[in-house]
């Protein structure tokens, strides 16, 4: 219940709710404002994600943001993708921390510190990928890059599915 939330939980839930919305709105400074209905949809999904951090609704909210970023831009990565990535990572980690226990469980400072460090370290990958993408964009289209990417993605999905199913069966 929301009434049971501790101040720490409130912080986590607000972060979880704001992350996808901010990531979506980050396309606006880049010149492609999101559709109003999409903002409302993502906002609602994000609120549900904050309320139920263990539910798949968070994946839907963040997935909508990711797809919008794919649809909205043509012509290379925008620097605003980096703060958008930060917002998504923050939302994900906040939901992860909130999911460690029931609503009324306080936030353990040591756990919070560990995940802040982890989130910071993992987030560094975003500017790295942006840098690589920017370099590749300047060099023009490399033959076979998307085919290779697709193959890698498929392998990743298959491996992840296998691992997830194995974990569930055990």
Q: What are the C-alpha distances in Å from 129 to residues 31, 44, 54, 133?
A: 21, 30, 28, 6
Q: Which of 15, 123, 140, 144 binds another protein (CB under 8 A)?
A: 123
17 binds another protein (CB under 8 A): no
* Segment contacting another protein by CB under 8 A, of 9-17, 34-42, 91-99: 91-99
14 binds another protein (CB under 8 A): no
Task: Enter the DSSP assignment of 3.
Answer: G
Please state, in angstroms and rounded to a whole number, the distance separating the CA atoms of residues 166 and 57.
23
Which residues have a Cβ under 8 Å from the Cβ of 145 and sit 6 or more positions away?
136
* Site residues for another protein per CB under 8 A: 23, 53-56, 58-59, 62-63, 65-67, 69-71, 73-74, 76-78, 81-82, 84-85, 88-89, 92, 95-96, 99-102, 104-108, 110-111, 114, 118, 122-123, 125-130, 133, 136-137, 146, 149-150, 152-153, 156-157, 159-160, 163-164, 167-168, 170
């Amino acid at each position: 219940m929301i009434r049971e939330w501790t101040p720490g939980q409130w912080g986590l839930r607000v972060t979880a709710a704001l992350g996808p919305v901010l990531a979506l709105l980050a396309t606006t400074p880049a010149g492609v404002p999101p559709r109003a209905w999409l903002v409302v949809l993502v906002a609602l999904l994000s609120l549900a994600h904050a309320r139920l951090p263990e539910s798949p609704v968070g994946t839907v909210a963040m997935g909508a943001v990711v797809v919008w970023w794919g649809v909205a831009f043509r012509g290379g990565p925008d620097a605003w993708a980096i703060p958008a990535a930060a917002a998504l990572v923050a939302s994900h980690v906040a939901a992860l921390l909130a999911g460690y226990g029931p609503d009324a469980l306080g936030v353990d400072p040591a756990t919070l510190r560990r995940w802040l460090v982890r989130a910071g370290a993992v987030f560094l990958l975003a500017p790295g990928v942006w840098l690589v993408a920017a370099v590749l964009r300047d060099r023009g289209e490399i033959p076979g890059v998307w085919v290779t990417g697709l193959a890698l993605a498929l392998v990743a999905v298959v491996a992840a599915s296998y691992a997830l199913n194995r974990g569930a069966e055990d």
